[in-house]
């Protein structure tokens, strides 16, 4: 749910930064953010299928370990 709430704002800030500070054309930030967008879409599609197959503890552990570089769990 946090991704749904925060994601669009971060995308806007990122594209504005790339355009205004780094001087890129509007197409360049769009191309730079395509991998992030694709990863979010794949995550949204795959996670419901994987949720019943895994126990809650390993799911939390993998989520916290993937978020660990940027945020403490």
Q: Interhelix angle for 2-20 vs 34-50, to 10°?
A: 170
The tens place of each residue's pLDDT in the chain, 73 residues long, gives: 676 777 778 888 888 998 999 999 989 988 888 888 888 888 888 888 877 877 777 777 777 777 666 665 5
Q: Which of 15, 16, 40, 39 is nearest to 29 (CA)?
A: 15
Q: How far apart are CA 47 and CA 52, in angstroms?
A: 9
Reported pTM: 0.57
């Amino acid at each position: 749910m946090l991704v749904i709430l925060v994601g669009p704002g971060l995308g806007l800030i990122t594209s504005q930064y790339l355009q205004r500070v780094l001087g890129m054309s509007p197409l360049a930030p769009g191309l730079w953010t395509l991998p992030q967008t694709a990863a979010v879409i794949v995550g949204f599609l795959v996670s419901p299928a994987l949720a019943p197959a895994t126990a809650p503890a390993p799911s939390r552990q993998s989520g916290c370990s993937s978020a660990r570089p940027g945020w403490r769990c």
